[in-house]
Amino acid sequence: MSEKAVVIEAPGGAEQLKLMDVEVGAPGPGEIRIRHEACGLNYIDVYHRNGTYALPLPARLGMEGAGIVEAVGEGVAHLKVGDRAAYASNPPGAYATARVMPAKCVLRLPDAIDFETAAAMMLKGLTVQYLLRKTLPQGGLQPGDFVLFHAAAGGVGLIACQWARALGLQLIGTAGSDEKCQLALDNGATHAINYRRDKDFAAKVREITGGRGVKVVYDSVGADTWEGSLNSLTPFGLLASFGGASGPVPPFSVSTLAAKGSIYVTRPTLFTHIATREATQAMGDELFEMVASGQVSIRIDKRYALADAAQSHRDLEARQLLGSAVLLP
Ligand SMILES: NC(=O)c1ccc[n+]([C@@H]2O[C@H](COP(=O)([O-])OP(=O)(O)OC[C@H]3O[C@@H](n4cnc5c(N)ncnc54)[C@H](OP(=O)(O)O)[C@@H]3O)[C@@H](O)[C@H]2O)c1
């Protein structure tokens, strides 16, 4: 059956994203075919497009989607034809009207969650789940503890603000404008720093925490925030470096970690956490509960036609989006 998918033939700028006719066959063992109602936009799609994370070419893009299960391959027991479903998953290919994909990371979608919300939250929400619930400093986090979360008004960031509020944490959010800082505060951040204006955000963090620093920094900005993140931590604190929207973290000497107070650094990825179906289901159930109960609401800032995927990438890279965005087939 001929379908439409966004394809790149070479790595590069947003102009590389082309909507093409593609063949979508029948699912093999362990696979399903899903017809998308909505697809999610994520910063990892930019890394795939520009070659930061190299893909075999030509390549399809997109790691997050929601829709209806159209066909089920042999050995898939948890999904059936007609199910409403959503996922964050490898391999890329979500920017499409329909696709065949591994069933392992595809979850049945509760009726309380609509397709656009699901497409806007699966990759980002599962990421927040593993960050705030599993990527923890020694002794864990207790209500009242301070955490620092960069890009707090972005897709991942706005979910993190709300989830942190539900956990009783004091989340200090950074963001690139006063409007974004206000949005982070409206969504549960207890403090916000405009790090484009207040470049020494670590000094602000010290002020807010009475000089102590935070127990954990969640840093997806990378190059621009690395040094300040190190300087924001309390002794034995944890720096969780989970992305590089401003560029990769510069090489560093391990002895820096001693000098900054015996601190820990980790570089986690969602894909380790969702390596098994059981783990994905458990994380997904927690995310669905947070959203269905209203503790986390998903802000969809913009909706783009699949044919306008290039514009969605331009807006994301220009830091113009607040919260999540979706592509509609
Ligand atoms: N490791 C994992 O498991 C994992 C999973 C999901 C996402 N991530 C990472 O988490 C981050 C957030 O993902 P997202 O999809 O929700 O994107 P997003 O936060 O909506 O967009 C990225 C944000 O990064 C900030 N930023 C700072 N410097 C930037 C620069 N030079 N260029 C562009 N943006 C810059 C911008 O916010 P301000 O203007 O407020 O600074 C921008 O809005 C990304 O780095 C992504 O790779 C990692």
Average pLDDT on 302-309 reads 98
Q: Residue 137's pLDDT is what?
A: 98
Taking the whole predicted model, whether its pTM rises above 0.95 is answered as yes
**Confidence tier at 198 by pLDDT (50, 70, 90):** very high
Which of 66, 205, 97, 93 is CA-nearest to residue 147?
A: 205
Kindly state if the Cβ of 221 falls inside 6 Å of ligand 1: yes
Q: Hey, which residues does 77 pair with through a beta bridge?
A: none
Q: Residue 243's pLDDT is what?
A: 97
Among protein residues, the one with the nearest Cα to ligand 1's atom 42 is 319
Q: In whole angstroms, give the CA distance from residue 146 to residue 277.
A: 33
Above pLDDT 70, what percent of the chain? 100
Cβ(40)–Cβ(120) below 8 Å = yes
Q: Residue 1's pLDDT is what?
A: 65
Is 103's pLDDT higher than 70?
Answer: yes
Question: Which residues 6+ apart lie within 8 Å of 97 measured at CB?
Answer: 3, 4, 5, 35, 36, 306, 329
Q: Residue 99's pLDDT is what?
A: 98
Q: Residue 2's pLDDT is what?
A: 79
At 230-258, the pLDDT tens digits run: 999 999 999 999 999 999 999 999 999 99
Kindly state if the Cβ of 224 falls inside 6 Å of ligand 1: yes
Burial code (b: 16+ CB inside 10 Å, e: under 16) for 1-10 equals eebbbbbbee
CA dihedral 282→283→286→292, nearest 10 degrees, is -110
Q: In whole angstroms, give the CA distance from residue 158 to residue 137.
A: 22
At 5-51, the pLDDT tens digits run: 999 999 999 999 999 999 999 999 999 999 999 999 999 999 999 99
Phi and psi for 230 in degrees, rounded to 5? -55, -40
Kindly state if the Cβ of 326 falls inside 6 Å of ligand 1: no
Q: Residue 251's pLDDT is what?
A: 94
Which of 212, 227, 4 is CA-nearest to residue 97?
A: 4
Kindly state if the Cβ of 129 falls inside 6 Å of ligand 1: no
CA-atom Rg of the chain in angstroms: 20
Is 290's pLDDT higher than 80?
Answer: yes
